[in-house]
Structure 1
């Protein structure tokens, strides 16, 4: 399986298990405090900073400054010192970036070691919500909630895009948040169901709107293609269970998080994998497997090597599978190579609804950044805050990071962006064959910075019409699940919870798969729950609920 941030994989599978546990034991965090300056608080002093810096203006330091940044190198697009993007940033802002490079393959481990040892650069980009918790607990990164008052673009678009409650959910047990996220004007699930729409229609099924409708469609397709197992995942079940879970009123797979979900009836957190919704979801997929409608190999084998879901899609053995915008391209390429060019229609569809309704995952942030504690000692710290506010959140910079220099590499008319014919953007199949690629040759549309903050128009600008249709279908027909209330753990509780969470999740992962594949009868569900209880499930829930009650009491 090829890891590609724009396809949403790194966020969910690119970090090692130990860090995933540490990063998810307290995902839901919030507070009600203000980010405005306290009365009598002294302002930062910086000779290079702008005195009249405001939202939607270009930041430019009054003298040359240099800041250090951690940079993750993608194997297919390692950073080049000659990239135009760095010279363009310097030209506009008077800021030079000094990069410390780490490889994609072990980026999270390297990042952790550098930060923990105090050797990390000032700016740590490519940070997803939850990544910051272990560093916040050790105070090795700065509480960004103390400094966003110096970031007018961030504040403006948090307000305009109605994201303040989500920002508040980033707060740790001390009421502060330690990273600033990438802001998305619209948010839809990255992974969903990718189907052969032509086959569904030929079978008289149409596009399924619910999991029950999907099952009925699969039965019809199976009758027409008896050698097929028409539904597949390709990510060891983690992707499909993630987006299916919300429709069943639970969390699972990549979205399992710390394993808890809030139960409105009891006013407490419960363990998702023991809930009625989770059991119903498992029973549903067990039924698909039992009737030969689910490619069970795709729940046990990664989508790499031979016999992949992509291969089966091209061989008319699979007609619906987990995927993203990039997966549509992969499946289409494989079908073309198999001689089916012009004979198919592959599309992403909105995640099907279920017993809980037409529900999808909560609205999400994308990657943002942290600042290590030594950043505050820089005499140009205020300039750094203003620069990062411009770089991450200003419309001018967002356009530059994605498309390059207006008038040189692209033109813009209203919300329409057009890459000039002498330039390509291979990563999105735009102007293929042009001499210069704005990504690999010039550094624009890079994975470290360009994907962070996007307006709806910018997101639409580089994606194909079919993906735009997918965005619209989700926004028009599905409702995001409300986020769970905050239950932030302190440093000691994070350590305790991590020790308890690992064996619990291992038991969940093992038995969820066994139940779905029929290797363990569903009549043993109660025994499975007892096995979780024997691993001190109640002690784990007591930690989470204790944190929830404490935070609720302290923050109103």
Structure 2
């Protein structure tokens, strides 16, 4: 997954601040209808592990995000082989990524969207519930044995419950991960670490000490100068997200205003939590001591990379792909320079990871699809492509003997040397995505930890092995709002978020003293943070009473 895609996911998770808690009114009728006359082309007995193949040639319409890195091609081998295996052809409405959300909104609202609407990030689906344009997909998961099996075996129902509307149904089929997957961390110049005799930091306090030693040796430089802060989002970048998570606050990319406080049994406002203040104190200390470049929170990625490439900084945010494709290439001209992905430091939350990132973007189903005589076959097709082990392996890597060899079960999997993907086989003549259409973000996401590990180098596998030792934090309970409540909190949310983000940056940079924290919290209350939480907590109590 390219960094921008992951950033979108994290930003969408943060945007769930308001709409992620939202739902529809109590008066929505049961969306499930009888399936008589809608089984044409479906398999009579479709179960986990079966290869889905329609009993007659079928065509389903689909909205297709055309990624700028690998633009949609109707003749991709992926699509040809998909038809051969399933007897299903896809009629694609291809839309560039920059226009995707807007085009999707227009088409769904007008009632002329394709049957299958993938690449939808929760809570985007909730804008279409009241109008009745999309199906409550939770009514039809009994038609999807692979989805249902993974939901149960991987204990993901609590996660999916967070997608539910006030009526107890959900309208988006999410991508499912077997385990929490932590990709983002910090890249560190390991040659500098070795030169200074420094050991890998275990905690964020350890990292501060590492940065102090680097500053002593190179007083004219900022040891950490970060990226992923644009488009300008004061208070909303990756570093703030990582530190916030370690302290137990939702911040930066991971921002969401309402955070579940298990001890109190209620939702609290993230930007007013003591944990949020502790995060700010830590980051402010790093900036005040000259350990973090103040421009880290506003500069472009290019500026951050140029500083790293010139040896003006030694630490910068990264993920598995940018480590290989960017950071290592950026420092190639520095004699003896080496860089590695740091095991993510821990903080007051201990060796844990957020449990909410086990779900990916997912699929909405147009209400019109339920009127089709091929509806059951379509749901079986979706279940095989997006949720079966075989479908996920095919969508990600293609055909054994053509684009890969070996098995993911015994660890012998290997991408064909003539095919490149991300950091694998970077000099190969053909691209898995561009030339074949596999590992396409429209189809390929989620899956088992073994499948996920096939995209990793040995170095990244070692990183993931350490991350997998950590315990996933529990996900918050559902608190879906009514349409009227959602409209009300939406009016408050923008001003609240702007105030949090602006002051996050001011506190970190020392432009506002942390001694004014109490005054800042009062300012949030003046912008209706308390009323916001009252609505959310009433929604939680109402849902709990109605659905348990």
Q: Same fold (TM over 0.5)?
A: yes
1:4 aligned residue? 2
- 2:22·2:483 contact (CA, 8 Å) conserved in 1? no
Tell me whether 1:147 sits opposite 2:165 in the alignment.
no
Aligned-pair Cα RMSD in Å: 2.4
Partner of residue 315 from structure 2, selected from 299, 320, 343 = 320
Q: CA 1:160–1:6 in 2, change beyond 3 Å: closer, same or farther?
A: farther
Native 8 Å contact 1:126 1:369 kept in 2 = yes
Alignment of 1:297-308 (within 5 A): 297-304=295-302, 308=303
Q: Measure how far apart 1:10 and its partner are.
A: 2.5
Corresponding residue of 2:222: 229
**Match among 203, 209, 214 for residue 196 of structure 2:** 203
From 334, 343, 346, the equivalent of 1:339 is 334
Question: Closer, same or farther in 2 for the Cα pair 1:203/1:29, shift >3 Å?
Answer: farther
Task: Say if 1:90 and 1:6 are closer, same or farther in 2 by CA, change over 3 A.
Answer: farther
Match for residue 443 of structure 1?
Answer: 437
Aligned residues of 2:32 and 2:139 also touching (Cα < 8 A)? no
- Report the equivalent of 1:252: 251
Instruction: Report whether the alignment pairs 1:263 with 2:257.
Output: no
Whether contact under 8 Å (1:5, 1:11) holds in the other structure is no
Does 2:18 correspond to 1:25? yes
Deviates more, 1:93-102 or 1:485-494: 485-494
Q: 1:106 to 1:47 in 2, by over 3 A?
A: closer
1:286-307 CA distances to partner (integer Å, 9 max, x unpaired)? 1111110011112012313xxx
Q: Which residue of 2 aligns with 1:473?
A: 466
1:284 is matched with which residue? 282
> CA offsets per residue over residues 172-230 of structure 1, 9 Å max, x none?
11100111111112222232222223323432331111111111111011111112211
The answer on whether the counterparts of 1:201 and 1:207 sit within 8 Å (CA) in structure 2 is no
How far apart are 1:420 and its partner, in Å? 3.0
- Which 10-residue stretch deviates more, 155-164 or 488-497? 155-164
Is the contact between residue 22 and residue 486 of structure 2 (CA under 8 Å) also seen in structure 1?
A: no
2:359 paired residue number: 365
SS of the residue corresponding to residue 238 of structure 2 reads helix
By how many angstroms is 1:12 displaced? 3.5
For 1:218 and 1:73, the matched residues in 2 are separated by: 42
* Corresponding residue of 2:233: none
Q: Does residue 217 of the first structure (1) align with residue 213 of the second (2)?
A: no
Secondary structure class of the residue paired with 1:232: coil
1:249 Cα offset (Å): 1.8
Deviation at residue 356 of structure 1 after TM alignment:
2.7
Q: 1:260 to 1:284 in 2, by over 3 A?
A: same
Label 1:29 to 1:502 Cα distance change in 2 as closer, same or farther (>3 A): closer
For residue 487 of structure 1, what is the aligned residue in structure 2? Answer: 479
CA distance in 1: counterparts of 2:294 and 2:90, whole angstroms: 48
1:429-453 Cα distance to aligned partner (Å, 9 max, x none) = 326233x333211211122212x12
| Corresponding pairs, count | 532
Matched ranges for 1:129-148 at <5 A = 129-148=122-141
Structure 1 residue corresponding to 2:538, chosen from 546, 550, 554? 546
Q: Determine whether 1:428 maps to 2:423.
A: yes
How far does the alpha carbon of each residue in 1:257-305 deviate from its partner, in whole angstroms, 9 at most, with x for none?
2x0112233322111111111111101111111110011112012313x
Deviation at 1:38, TM superposition (A): 13
Counterpart-to-counterpart distance in 2, 1:232 and 1:138: 46
Question: Retained in 1: the 8 A contact 2:41–2:374?
Answer: yes
Question: How far off is 1:425 after superposition?
Answer: 2.0
Partner SS, residue 190 of structure 1? coil
- Structure 1 residue 484: Cα displacement: 1.6
Contact 2:3 2:319 (8 Å CA) reproduced: no
Say yes or no: does 1:396 pair with 2:390. Answer: yes
Mapped contact 1:197–1:347 kept (Cα < 8 A)? yes
Alpha-carbon distance in structure 2 between the residues aligned to 1:211 and 1:29:
35
1:486–1:551 CA contact under 8 A, matched in 2: yes
Q: Deviations over 1:30-73 (max 9, x none)?
A: 9xxxxxx9999766741210001111111111111110111111
Asked whether the equivalents of residues 410 and 418 of structure 1 are also in contact (C-alpha less than 8 Å), the reply is yes
TM-score by length of 2: 0.92
Q: Which runs of 5+ in 2 are unaligned?
A: 24-29, 230-235
Partner in structure 1 of residue 232 of structure 2: none
How far apart, CA to CA, are the structure 2 residues paired with 1:370 and 1:509? 31
Q: 1:106 to 1:179 in 2, by over 3 A?
A: same
Cα 1:138–1:190, aligned 2, differ >3 Å: closer, same or farther?
farther
CA distance in 1, matches of 2:458, 2:5: 17
Contact 1:67/1:122, CA 8 A, preserved across alignment: yes
Asked if 1 retains the 8 angstrom alpha-carbon contact of 2:116 and 2:366, the reply is: yes
Distance change in 2, residues 1:521/1:143 (3 Å): same
* Partner Cα distance (2:43, 2:168) in 1: 29
